[in-house]
Amino acid sequence: MEKRETILRWLTRDSPSHIEHIQIIQQTISGAQAVERVSNQILHPEATVPDSQTTLQMTNEARDEAQRLTRALTDLLTIPETTHFAELDVSQMVKSISERTEQLLEFLTDCLATTSDEDSLKSLRRSNLDGTQDLANRIAMRITLIQDQVAQDMTRVYFDQLAPANQHLWIGRQGAEPVLVEYWNYEASTPEEVQKNLQQAARISALLSEVKGGKFRILPGLGHMHESNRHRIGFVYKLPGKFSQNDYVKLSDLMGKVKSVPLDLRTRLASTICDFTLHLHSIGWFHKAIKSANILIFRNLDAQVPDDRDYRAWNIEDPYLIGFDCSRPSEAETWSAVDFSTQANIYRHPERWGAPKRFEKHHDLYALVSRT
């Protein structure tokens, strides 16, 4: 606290005069010190919290890099020796602190993907994570991802009309709110195999229900449902607005419907898809089925464009990822049926054709650059 107050006094003693600028400085310093504190808890748990198990699995090289980034941030948060002050000094220093904070936070986040010690992650979650909400959310997601057992409680969804047997997506409602249901069909088999499917669905549903930042581009999960007579499971999502059955489209269908989309818009869409794949991998979550049919685009309700073939009728810059029925943590064994279909293999790495090998990160990356 003393270090924070000292640097705040130095940064704000002469300028800026606007209160919003001072608030930006305060937020920058608070965020930086929060990340610095969490990094020290991870690197030196015994010094910050006695008998703590807080640690992340790191190689010696990774630990050295984390210590280097932490020292660099600590040096920036130390009161400058000079008493000279100018607006340029403040602007540059705030920028440098923000950049160092982001570098350290991204590095710590990347370390989550290799940490499989549930006790260590839970200990870290119980520690002081104030000011690092995104990291706290990712820790919670990582814990859910590696847990062997999760609650299999199901949710209820009401429909004005039941979805046809071959329908993948359908709008229902919970109370007065519309929700989206994504169906996962399974073959009728033994009770043991059905139970295995339900356990897998419960794990995915629990992960979808965790609080996630917008960078993940995943609709908030509201649980899952089971239609045993139709041999299908439904993942329930909160919609980002008051949408109806005709207000969303899969990217694969949109590409055949909308012919003229500006290049810069297509570039931003591709960048967003790459970004959310990166964020999934940052916690060790492999999607296993990244393709245009699993990317959802919603209607632009503000545009009031009557022609669905006009790109302006759709929020192309705001895609959402679906199709999590095959997703899994990086450590889990691959389990799926043998599939030689050309349509499915278009997006798959050759190692994943037919009877697939164990899924790895580069298989998701291969799907990103496959023909869509």
179 and 38 belong to one structural domain: no
Q: What are phi and psi of 20, to 5 degrees?
A: -65, -30
- CATH number, domain containing residue 332: 1.10.510.10
Same domain membership, residue 342 and residue 281: yes
Query: Are residues 140 and 241 both part of a single domain?
Result: no
DSSP state of 54: -
The C-alpha atoms of residue 57 and residue 256 are separated, in whole angstroms, by 46
Whether 108 has a pLDDT exceeding 70, the answer reads yes
Of 52-61, 132-141, 190-199, give the lowest mean pLDDT range: 52-61
Contact (Cβ atoms closer than 8 angstroms) between residue 223 and residue 154: yes
At 112, the pLDDT band (50, 70, 90 cuts) reads confident
- Identify whether residues 251 and 126 lie together within a single domain: no
| Same domain membership, residue 322 and residue 245 | yes
- The pLDDT of residue 126: 83
3 state SS for 243-262: CCCCCEEEHHHHHHHCCCCC
Spatial CA neighbour of 293 closest among 241, 351, 346: 346
- pLDDT score at 68: 94
220 and 119: one domain? no
Lowest mean pLDDT among 5-9, 102-106, 188-192, 206-210: 5-9
Residue 226 covered by a domain: yes
Provide the pLDDT confidence category of residue 288 given band limits of 50, 70 and 90: confident
Q: Does residue 309 register a pLDDT over 90?
A: yes
The mean pLDDT value for 173-186 works out to: 93
Residue of 125, 340, 336 lying closest to 211 (CA atoms): 125
In this prediction, residue 18 carries a pLDDT of 54
- The least confident of 40-54, 257-271, 333-347 is 333-347
Q: Is the pLDDT reported for residue 280 higher than 70?
A: yes
Determine the 3-state secondary structure of 171 from DSSP.
strand
**CB contact set of 166 (below 8 Å; sequence gap of 6+):** none
- Average pLDDT estimate for 339-354: 49
Q: Which regions of the chain does DSSP assign to beta strands (E)?
A: 169-174, 177-185, 221-227, 232-238, 248-250, 285-286, 295-298, 320-321, 328-329
Q: Is residue 158 part of a domain?
A: no
215 shares its domain with 307: yes
| 86 and 29 both lie in a single domain | yes
**152 found inside a domain:** no
Instruction: Give burial (CB, 10 Å; 0-12/13-18/19+) of 344.
Output: middle
Mean predicted confidence (pLDDT) in 287-308: 90
- pLDDT tens digits along 34-69: 899 888 888 887 655 555 555 677 888 989 999 999
pLDDT at 304 over 70: yes
Instruction: List phi, psi (to 5°) of 280.
Output: -60, -45
Residue 142 in this model has a pLDDT that exceeds 70: yes
- According to DSSP, the residues that pair with 225 across neighbouring strands are 234
- Is residue 272 within 8 A of residue 217, CB to CB? The reply is yes
- Higher pLDDT among residues 152 and 21, named by residue: 152
The pLDDT value recorded for residue 335 is 41
183/122 same-domain check: no
- CA dihedral (212, 216, 218, 224) in degrees, to 10, reads -50
Q: Are residues 136 and 236 in the same domain?
A: no
Q: Is the pLDDT of residue 89 over 70?
A: no
Segments in 258-302 forming alpha helices (H) = 263-282
| Residue 30 included in any domain | yes
Model confidence pLDDT, tens digit, residues 236-253: 999 998 899 999 999 999
State the pLDDT confidence band at 156, using cuts at 50, 70 and 90: very high
Higher pLDDT, 25 or 344: 25
pLDDT given for residue 372 in this prediction: 45
- Residue 14, pLDDT > 70, answer no
Taking the C-alpha atoms of residue 301 and residue 292, their distance in angstroms, rounded to an integer, is 22
User: How many structural domains is the chain composed of?
Assistant: 2
At 316, is the pLDDT very low, low, confident or very high (cuts 50, 70, 90)? very high
Helices 87-111 + 133-146 axis angle, to 10: 10
Task: Say yes or no to pLDDT of 266 above 80.
Answer: yes
Question: According to the model, what pLDDT value does residue 77 have?
Answer: 82
Q: Range with the lowest mean pLDDT among 18-27, 127-136, 184-193, 265-274?
A: 18-27
| Domain encompassing residue 118 | 2-146
Q: Check whether residue 141 and residue 175 sit in a common domain.
A: no
How confident is the model over 289-318, as a mean pLDDT?
Answer: 92
Please tell me the number of Cα atoms within 13 Å of 354 on its side-chain side: 3
CA distance 226 to 347: 29
Mean per-residue pLDDT over the chain, rounded: 81
Residue finishing a domain among 146, 178, 197: 146
133 and 176, same domain (yes or no): no
Query: Which has more confidence, 297 or 58?
Result: 297
Side-chain half-sphere exposure of 236, counting CA atoms within 13 A: 20
Q: What number is the average pLDDT over the span 101-116?
A: 88
Phi, psi of 178 (to 5 degrees): -70, 145
pLDDT score for 79: 61
